[in-house]
Chain A
Amino acid sequence: MTSMATNISPMAGARRGLNVGHILLTALSIICALLWFFPLYWALVTSFRHDDETVKNFGLLPENPTLDGYLYVIQHSSLPIWYLNSTIVAVSVTIIAVFMAACAGYAISQLHFPGRRLLWWIILASFMVPAQALIVNHFIIIAGVKLLNTHAGTILPMLITPVTVIVYKQFFDSLPREFREAAVMDGANPFQLLFRVYLPMNWGVTTALAIITFIGAWNAFLWPFLAAQTERMMTVTVGITAVQDAFGVFYGRLMAGAVLAGLPVALAYIIFQKRVTQAITLSAGIKG
């Protein structure tokens, strides 16, 4: 009996230790989550306050909730046009970039042609150069072909997505070669192989990459800021800075603009949460 008691007691102690550690970790996680969430919450709450209340009332909820900020932004800015521009840019970038990346990833992974290895190294190298470092070159080139202040001019430099190519290449590399061989024996050409066998085999990869590309394109600021030179060509992220300049310090309107700008992305995150996580996981090893 004594020995049994001796055996049990350290286990019970370990369980208690585990519980305390678990509680502490949970508490820490909650605190971190609150710290992360509070600015978002505050922006949302402020967007529903009157401006005079913003500097007087520091309560968690607005005293007299109002939609004035939203109405003002919608009525006195080009927000609907910015939304449209953002949608055109983000959707175009998503479709074209993912399509090109799938083709490039497939070619590098599955086809044998001279220079394949060199091309792969160039893609890897391009991934190491930050987009900001190329922004002047992009500006000069796009200005040179007279595409500044057009959708095409905004979209073209944003199509450079080496990470997407790398993820696709890794995905195609991971597929057993028998699928390819079976399709070849069935008479499939490379395009049929890609679009009828490889991509449909796991739409999850494409969906995940499309969502993360869409979010990246929607949130992009620096290049659209340079490329769009009139208010009518601005995207939401660029336009929102115009709201700040035009409205002065009106917290309600500013925050309403910010909330409206971030809303599609937030919705995309919420709806496609799993896919976004998958995309981040897929590219995590690469971004290392």
Chain B
Amino acid sequence: MAHVELKDVSKRYGPVEVISHLSLSVEEGSFTALLGPSGCGKSTLLRMIAGLEEITDGRCFIAGTDVTDMPPAKRGAAMVFQNYALYPHLTVRQNIAFSLSLAHASKQVQDEKVGAVSRMLQLDQLLDRRPAQLSGGQRQRVAIGRALVRDPKVFLFDEPLSNLDAALRSQMRIELARLHQQVKTTMIYVTHDQVEAMTLADKIVVLDKGVISQQGTPLELYNRPANKFVASFIGSPAMNFFAATASGQAGNTVSVALPGGRTAEVTSRGGKLPANGTVDVGVRPEHLRLGAAGAAGSAFDGKINIVEQLGNSTLAYVDTPAGLLITEGEGNLQINPGDAVSITVDSSHAHLFGPDEQVI
């Protein structure tokens, strides 16, 4: 059942349209990530759900209620901001209880709710401190506690981890995932970090220039990108792309002539090939295999330019007739810059994109 639903919503600032006729359904209890580059409209969309931005056109529903014209506090949504927005003059306890105090909840109710939330977030030792006396991670937990205490129907997170260092971000990701498992409340999470989206969300909505580019589970987006934008945005290192010419098709198997003169067979998803056969082939680094130069069945010969040993894997940047391609191999791969190699494409994991950048 859709718990948060946007129906044909648009947002315009004067003549500039930042969200264009967007419809989205978020299932109850799901963790949905809105992912996209800066300026794609993901934060605006979140703020429209929160009621902090007016919706120019369209309707917004939370738990079946049309909240389009409701004030933010009445929508049943709680938001965690990027910079936490903790009131600096209040203690942790007062910050968490702020909404209850505004609602004239009794002291006993406030104490009970703050106690429960602080125990859940391990803040009970910090209740009398002020935000300035807390670390980044602790502040983040207080911000979450402030949202949690309102017992909202939906949690909205606006890039909540982007102010934290890498180690703390990783730790907070786990805490957020645990929190979601515990409270099972619908969560909508805005981020530009695809790792955060992939690890936390059970559904990712990729936004590009104010429209949904693709939505699905993390693995769907990773394995079956609908277009070049999603293919390039999801995955690190990014997917390799090179131009090729489709020379024949048998069912879903397309023969493509590669730069450098060799051919490869790529499985299409049943889309129509362009008349002139010009396509872009996309292959993730782990689906390119290095071998000895001139190996039979290889797609390219090339020379290794840079090697990055990451311990669990080895990234090789290889100069080929198709340009610089990144391959990802085993951690103990013994290769050096300047080595002559061949590259074999795992054709079952290659993607074809047409001139409109949609997958074929």
Residue A130 lies at the interface, judged by CB distance under 8 Å to chain B: no
Mark interface residues in A175-215 (1 if CB within 8 Å of B CB, else 0).
Answer: 01011011111111000100011001101000000000000
**If A192-B102, A200-B89, A201-B89 touch, does A184 touch B72 (CB 8 Å cutoff)?**
yes
Q: Could you say which of A179, A181, A192, A197 contacts B52, with CB atoms under 8 Å apart?
A: A181
Q: Could you say which of A182, A188, A203 contacts B79, with CB atoms under 8 Å apart?
A: A182
User: Which residue in chain B gives the minimum CB-CB distance to A180?
Assistant: B85
Interface size on B, residues (CB 8 A): 22
B72 near A185 with CB under 8 A, answer: yes
A187 near B73 with CB under 8 A, answer: yes
Complex Cα distance A192/B101, Å?
11
User: Which residue in chain B gives the minimum CB-CB distance to A203?
Assistant: B89
Complex Cα distance A176/B83, Å?
9
A182 near B88 with CB under 8 A, answer: no
How many Å from the CB of A141 to the closest CB on chain B? 40
A179 near B85 with CB under 8 A, answer: yes
Residue B61 lies at the interface, judged by CB distance under 8 Å to chain A: no
Complex Cα distance A181/B47, Å?
10
B77-99 residues with Cβ-Cβ distance < 8 A to A are 77-79, 81-83, 85, 87-89, 98-99
A-B contact number at CB 8 A: 55
A187 near B85 with CB under 8 A, answer: no
Which residues of B have CB within 8 Å of A201? 87-89
A176 near B85 with CB under 8 A, answer: yes
Complex Cα distance A143/B315, Å?
87
Q: Could you say which of B77, B85, B89 contacts A182, with CB atoms under 8 Å apart?
A: B85
Which residues of B have CB within 8 Å of A178? 81-83, 85
Which residues of A have CB within 8 Å of B51? 185
Which residues of B have CB within 8 Å of A186? 73, 98-99, 102, 146, 150
B102 near A181 with CB under 8 A, answer: no
B73 near A184 with CB under 8 A, answer: yes
Q: Could you say which of A176, A179, A188, A200 contacts B102, with CB atoms under 8 Å apart?
A: A188
How many Å from the CB of B292 to the closest CB on chain A? 57
Which residues of B have CB within 8 Å of A185? 50-52, 72-73, 77-79, 99
Interface size on A, residues (CB 8 A): 17
How many Å from the CB of B196 to the closest CB on chain A? 20
Per DSSP, are chain B's interface residues mostly helix, strand or loop, or mixed? loop
Q: Could you say which of A181, A196, A200, A203 contacts B85, with CB atoms under 8 Å apart?
A: A181
Complex Cα distance A192/B87, Å?
13
User: Which residue in chain B gives the minimum CB-CB distance to A188?
Assistant: B102
Residue B275 lies at the interface, judged by CB distance under 8 Å to chain A: no
**If A186-B98, A187-B99, A187-B103 touch, does A181 touch B88 (CB 8 Å cutoff)?**
no
User: Which residue in chain A gives the minimum CB-CB distance to B158?
Assistant: A178
Which residues of A have CB within 8 Å of B50? 181, 185
How many Å from the CB of A116 to the closest CB on chain B? 17
B73 near A182 with CB under 8 A, answer: no
Which residues of A have CB within 8 Å of B87? 179, 182-183, 197, 200-201
How many Å from the CB of B143 to the closest CB on chain A? 8
Q: Which of A181, A185, A192 has the most CB of B within 10 A?
A: A185
A156-182 residues with Cβ-Cβ distance < 8 A to B are 176, 178-179, 181-182
B120-149 residues with Cβ-Cβ distance < 8 A to A are 146
Complex Cα distance A184/B78, Å?
10
User: Which residue in chain A gives the minimum CB-CB distance to B100?
Assistant: A186
Complex Cα distance A192/B85, Å?
16
Mark interface residues in B41-53 (1 if CB within 8 Å of A CB, else 0).
Answer: 0000000001110
B99 near A181 with CB under 8 A, answer: no
User: Which residue in chain B gives the minimum CB-CB distance to A192?
Assistant: B102
B290-325 residues with Cβ-Cβ distance < 8 A to A are none
User: Which residue in chain B gives the minimum CB-CB distance to A179?
Assistant: B85
How many Å from the CB of B39 to the closest CB on chain A? 18
A40-80 residues with Cβ-Cβ distance < 8 A to B are none
Which residues of B have CB within 8 Å of A184? 52, 71-73
Complex Cα distance A203/B89, Å?
9
How many Å from the CB of B27 to the closest CB on chain A? 23
Complex Cα distance A187/B146, Å?
12
Which residues of A have CB within 8 Å of B72? 181, 184-185
Q: Which of A186, A192, A203 has the most CB of B within 10 A?
A: A186
B81 near A182 with CB under 8 A, answer: yes
Which residues of B have CB within 8 Å of A196? 102
User: Which residue in chain A gives the minimum CB-CB distance to B77?
Assistant: A185
Which residues of A have CB within 8 Å of B85? 176, 178-179, 181-182
Which residues of B have CB within 8 Å of A200? 87, 89
Which residues of B have CB within 8 Å of A182? 79, 81, 85, 87, 146
Which residues of A have CB within 8 Å of B102? 186-188, 192, 196
How many Å from the CB of A185 to the closest CB on chain B? 5
A197-247 residues with Cβ-Cβ distance < 8 A to B are 197, 200-201, 203
Complex Cα distance A203/B90, Å?
13
Q: Which of B51, B78, B99, B146 has the most CB of A within 10 A?
A: B99
User: Which residue in chain A gives the minimum CB-CB distance to B86?
Assistant: A182
User: Which residue in chain A gives the minimum CB-CB distance to B97?
Assistant: A186
Which residues of A have CB within 8 Å of B88? 201
User: Which residue in chain A gives the minimum CB-CB distance to B80?
Assistant: A182
Could you write out 20 A-B pairs with CB less than 8 Å apart? A176-B85, A178-B81, A178-B85, A181-B52, A181-B81, A182-B81, A182-B85, A182-B87, A185-B73, A185-B77, A185-B79, A186-B102, A186-B150, A188-B73, A188-B102, A196-B102, A197-B87, A200-B87, A200-B89, A201-B87
- Beyond the given pairs A179-B85, A184-B72, A185-B72, 16 more chain A to chain B contacts, judged by CB atoms under 8 angstroms and listed by A's residue number, are A176-B83, A178-B85, A182-B81, A183-B87, A184-B71, A185-B73, A185-B78, A185-B99, A186-B146, A187-B73, A187-B102, A197-B87, A200-B87, A201-B87, A201-B88, A203-B89
3 A-B pairs with the lowest CB-CB distances in the bound complex, closest first: A187-B73, A178-B85, A186-B99
